[in-house]
Amino acid sequence: MELIRYFKIKKMKNIFLLSLMSAFLFTSCNKENGIPVDPITGEPTPTTEYKLLKKDTTDNDLIVELYSKTETIEMGYIPLYLKIRDISGSAVENALVLFMPMMDMGMMQHSSPVEQPVFNSDSDYYEGMVVFTMASSMGSWNLTVNVNGEDASFTINVLENPTGTKYVGSYNGTDGEKYIVSIVRPFEWSVGMNDVSIMVHKNQSMMSFPAVSDLIIAMDPQMTSMGHGSPNNVSPVSVGNGYYDGQVNYTMTGDWRLNLDLIKAGDTIVNSYIDILF
């Protein structure tokens, strides 16, 4: 019953989101200078799809706004979005933008895997991604956004994944390399077959995390508390740029562990896993 209610609520949520989106479409008709306007107040309404996390101004007076899909940032693969405006308030498109995340652990500092932001003219956002490999409890995360040579800086509070979940992991491969395996957001799980996407990076140095696209992944989802798996899974296969797409079959809700064996030249070099709860 509890779950049915949950699904009903979810459905309601979806309807709610849909109405929100249609409101957005409506407002987007009224937008001037590329800024959507609230039809009632006439104020700009930037936070329609993405949540504004932080704002910073660079030395050359560019206003950089950092957005994400959620109000908080968790460990793992996080898509991040940017809006950049000049002092007059007009949007700066097609600037050269670079992410440089940095974890300061006191004794040492390291970066993490990123995908550099690219301007998307459909959404009017710069879209990029950072894999946060640890939580801010281990130190402090700082994300530097370099726009046309000038920096904006954001302190990011990265939360642990919720109890029972693990969306990113670092592993020492048997080939002597270090690998970072993360599950690609967004994911919204349902019972049955789900598309799943995995990303693999190599930890080459403290500052260099190239994507790895030449592995074979063997995926075996397991319900850990019952000791059974599920049939008909499709192990993720490389689609380039470090992404691996497959299908996962959740026969029920609960705690699932996706066991992901990374295979290179026929040898299993890493036994990694991602923990899911829904």
Partner 1 sequence: MDSKKEYMAGFIKIDEMKKIIVLGSSLLLCGSIFSQEDTLRSPQNYKEIIIQGQEKGSKEKASAQLQQSPDKLLSTIPGITLIKRGNYALEPTIRGLSAAQINTTIDGMQMFGACTDRMDPISAYIEPTNLEKIELSTSPNGNQQGSAIGGGINFALMKAQLNASKKFSGSAGAGYQSNANNIQFLGTFQYSTKRWAVLVNGIYRKADNYYAADRKEILFSQFEKWNAGANLIVALNDNNRISLDYIHDEGYAIGYPALTMDVAFAKAYISALTHTYKNKTRKLRSVETKVYFNFINHAMDDTKRPAEMVPMHMDMPGTSRTFGMFSKAKYVLNAKHVLNFQLNAFQNDLHAEMTMYPDFGSEMFMLTIPDGMRRTFGLNASDKWIVNRKLKISYGGRVEFNQSDITTEIGRQTLTSFYNGDGAQSRMSGNVFIQTEYAISNKIGVFGGVSYAQRPPSIQELYGFYLFNRVDNHDYLGSPDIKNEESISGNIGVNLKSEKFAISLEAFANSFNNYIIGVLLSDYSNMTIGAEGVKQFDNISNAFQTGGEMTVKWSPIKALTVQSVNSYTYGIDDLGGYLPYIPPFKSINSVRYYHKGWNVKLEHVGAFAQNNVSTARYGEGTTPAFNLLNFAVQKQIDLKNDRALYAEFGVENIFDAPYYEHLDVMKIQRQGVNFVLRTTFVF
Residues that bind partner 1 (CB under 8 A): 3, 7, 11, 164, 190-193, 223-232, 249-255, 277
Beta strands in 69-111 (DSSP E): 73-74, 76-85, 97-104, 109-110
Q: Classify residue 160 by its DSSP letter.
A: P
> Closest separation between CB of residue 246 and partner 1, Å?
15
The distance in angstroms from the start CA to the end CA of the chain is: 16
Measured in degrees and rounded to the nearest 5, phi and psi for residue 26 equal -60, -45
> Closest separation between CB of residue 248 and partner 1, Å?
10
With respect to partner 1, which residue has the nearer C-beta, 27 or 230?
Answer: 230
Beta strands across the sheet bearing 267-277: 228-229, 216-223, 255-264, 267-277
With respect to partner 1, which residue has the nearer C-beta, 25 or 252?
Answer: 252
> Closest separation between CB of residue 166 and partner 1, Å?
13
With respect to partner 1, which residue has the nearer C-beta, 97 or 196?
Answer: 196
CA distances from 48 to 23, 25, 51, 154 (A): 9, 10, 8, 22
Specify whether the CB–CB gap between 198 and 183 falls below 8 A.
yes
> Closest separation between CB of residue 22 and partner 1, Å?
21
With respect to partner 1, which residue has the nearer C-beta, 120 or 253?
Answer: 253
> Closest separation between CB of residue 162 and partner 1, Å?
10
Reading the block at residue 141, the tokens are 């995360």
Give a three-class secondary structure readout of 100-136.
EEEEECCCCEECCCEEEEEEECCCCEEEEEEEECCCH
> Closest separation between CB of residue 161 and partner 1, Å?
14
Q: Specify the 3-state DSSP secondary structure of 30.
A: coil
With respect to partner 1, which residue has the nearer C-beta, 213 or 247?
Answer: 247
With respect to partner 1, which residue has the nearer C-beta, 140 or 251?
Answer: 251
Angle at 124 between CA 122 and CA 129, to 5 degrees: 95
With respect to partner 1, which residue has the nearer C-beta, 44 or 164?
Answer: 164
> Closest separation between CB of residue 187 and partner 1, Å?
15
Omega before 44 within 30 of 0, i.e. cis: no
Angle at 130 between CA 81 and CA 273, to 5 degrees: 135
